[in-house]
Structure 1
Amino acid sequence: MSQRLKGRRPSASLIVALLALFVALDGPATAARLVNGSSIKSNSITNRQVKNGTLGKQDLSKSALTYLRTTPAKSVGANQLRDGAVGGKALAGKAVDASKLADGAVGNTQLAGKSVDAAKLADGSVGTAQLASDAVTSSKVTAGAIGTDAIADGALLTRDLGDFTGTVRTKFNPFLPNTCQVTILTAAQLTPSVPGSNPQIADDVVSVSPTTSGWPDPVVVVANPGAGNTLRIVACRIGDDPENPGAELVVPETVFQYVAFDT
């Protein structure tokens, strides 16, 4: 009986089971020894083969890390910035130029108070396309921050410079030789450059000019501040008409443009 057991061959199913056990126990270790970088074909591993969250910085080249840390030009807009996120400490010297800002990206809510000074602006970097409407108020800019180099040519309009700016339609009576007439704009008629503000015109330098074509050259127009925050537009006819002495000079109803600069 014992001799028959010793001479019996293992069955095929037993051999298959033993092979399966060997592969299960030693297969991964064997694969780790046999499969390395030289065994993998170039560009054969894609994102499908890489388990999510398994790659770390140590697995990336220096050039890949540099690329990932670089912000593409024009990529940061108003939607990407938290209100008040950009402050003076967050900006390197001369860091902001036109190539870094999408059109209209920087609005009033994106700038922290006093965050913009001359050191943060590249020369010629701020133009009308880079600023959203009403983006820059006095609270956003430090004293003396904006110089000629920081402002793009043609970026400033009259309303950006004066305390008051606007237009008024006036009809003067006919002028006799060497006579003057005055029209007065009350405080309610004046338009402040900053809506809701209450600037005073008393110490301002005022400029006014007629916009209507055909305004007669002999009638000179000037303006000066009046009492009670009013504006006086003074029109004077200088001299007489030698061909028709003493005759009245009729002027058309005219739209005057005015601007008052704070001194």
Structure 2
Amino acid sequence: MHNILPARHRLRRNPEQLRKKMTLNPYKPVKTQVVGLQQLEGDYLMATLQTVEEGFNTSFQSGQYVMASIPGFGETPHPLASAPGNPRIKIPVKTRHEKHFQLQSYVGVRGPYGRGVPEKTMENNLVAVASGEGIFPLRSLLLGHKPHKLFEYKILLQNDYGSAMETELRNITDRTNLRIFETPEPLLEYLTNINLPIPSNALLLTPENMYPKILPHLKDSGVFEKDTLIYLLGDIVCGLGKCRQCPQNLCRRGPVMPYKEYAGGKT
């Protein structure tokens, strides 16, 4: 005859706990619905996604990314363009994928992944240089962080996405100690003619091939590599560092990383 264990020793199968455990599966996309689309100039549109099931952590860091999955198509990495904490997330979508992001359609989302902009970056003067896809994490950063009154923030922006994005960014940066400088080509010439606050942190949200061109200008102004962060989101495959297909393990070390760490990883 088997002894019956006391209730406190029995293995209990709590359906709610099992459901939450399955929800936290890092390989399982969270179901979201496309509730808004904004057409941008160039090759992008902005999609607004509303989660329709639990599992997505909206307390992300600006600069992190998500993996968006379309049944029968695959997964692609997207920078988060919305403010941390917002239950509706915004991601940029290339126009060639527009047919997969129709209003009221469903999209699977995994994440957020990677490293974002540390809080301490905003606890000093800051100069940010943004162009191309770097404008999207910049939008998240400006929306999600209230500038400190003691510091000065200068944003050098080369906007490729039209007047709608320009107006939105200017409304965000309508603050006394945060100034946005929009410049056409060439961005580097404009950088040499602007007075930067010293000491400053620097954040480069530009294509990778521009780092060696921008850094000497920053150094001449007193902003050094040790105080510089870069943003680099490449062709991420899994987002978890398991497939080992990302160069320099970028999916986990990036997208935001110190420039010296990036330069050291290349050698």
Identify which of structures 1 and 2 has the higher relative contact order when contacts are C-alpha pairs closer than 8 Å and 6+ apart. Answer: 2
Greater per-residue strand proportion: 2
TM-score of the superposed pair, with normalisation by structure 1: 0.24
Work out which of the two has the higher radius of gyration on C-alpha atoms and give 1 or 2: 1
Greater per-residue helix proportion: 2
